[in-house]
């Protein structure tokens, strides 16, 4: 009869350990699987959006490159088999923030993005700092 309490205690401890997944504690293998799946999804999305694999790596520096490539390659094969055309991205890239660090104002950044580096947003020409004051 002494085996019954030992077996009951063992079953109770196993039940508690199985509940760790319910608490949101991920094991190393579950974390690795999730990261690989996310990388594959990123790669597939990049291929579907007609992005080069190098651009995909650059845009997703924290993701695993092997997983991104696997997803990109799988989507490429799928699109070729089903004769699907890529869907170009609807949103453009974010504007570069390096000009702001160099001391340019937001108006000058907008004007430079429009291809008019000498004009401010209010329509007045920007002063040339190198020309000197008269």
Q: What is the pLDDT of residues 59-98, one digit of tens each?
A: 999 999 999 999 999 999 999 999 999 988 777 666 555 5
Nearest to 47 by CA among 16, 11, 8, 89: 89
Q: Which residue has the higher pLDDT, 111 or 71?
A: 71
In this predicted structure, the answer to whether residue 28 has a pLDDT above a threshold of 80 is: yes
Q: Which residue has the higher pLDDT, 121 or 95?
A: 95
In this predicted structure, the answer to whether residue 12 has a pLDDT above a threshold of 70 is: yes
Task: Give the contacts of 57 (CB within 8 A, at least 6 positions apart).
Answer: 65, 68
Report pLDDT for 119: 47
Report pLDDT for 90: 77
Cα separation, 121 vs 134, in Å, equals: 25
Average pLDDT over residues 25-52: 91
Report pLDDT for 74: 96
Report pLDDT for 19: 60
Q: Which residue has the higher pLDDT, 133 or 50?
A: 50
Estimate to the nearest angstrom the gap between the alpha carbon of 30 and the chain centroid. 20
Find out whether 43 and 70 touch, Cβ atoms under 8 Å.
yes
Cα separation, 63 vs 46, in Å, equals: 13
Please give the radius of gyration of the chain, using alpha carbons only, rounded to the nearest integer: 28
Report pLDDT for 110: 47
| Ranges of H-type helices in the chain | 3-18, 28-48, 53-59, 65-81, 98-101, 106-113
Report pLDDT for 124: 52
């Amino acid at each position: 009869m002494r085996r019954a309490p030992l077996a009951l205690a063992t079953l109770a401890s196993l039940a508690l350990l199985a509940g760790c997944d319910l608490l949101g504690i991920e094991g190393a293998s579950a974390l690795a699987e999730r990261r690989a799946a996310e990388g594959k999804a990123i790669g597939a999305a990049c291929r579907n959006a007609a992005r080069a694999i190098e651009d995909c790596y650059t845009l997703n520096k924290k993701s695993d490159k092997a997983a991104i490539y696997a997803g990109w390659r799988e989507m490429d094969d799928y699109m070729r088999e089903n004769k699907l055309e890529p869907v170009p991205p609807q949103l453009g890239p974010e504007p570069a923030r390096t000009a702001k660090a160099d001391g340019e104002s937001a108006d000058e950044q907008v004007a430079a993005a429009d291809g008019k580096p000498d004009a401010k947003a209010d329509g007045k020409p920007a002063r040339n700092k190198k020309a000197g004051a008269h």
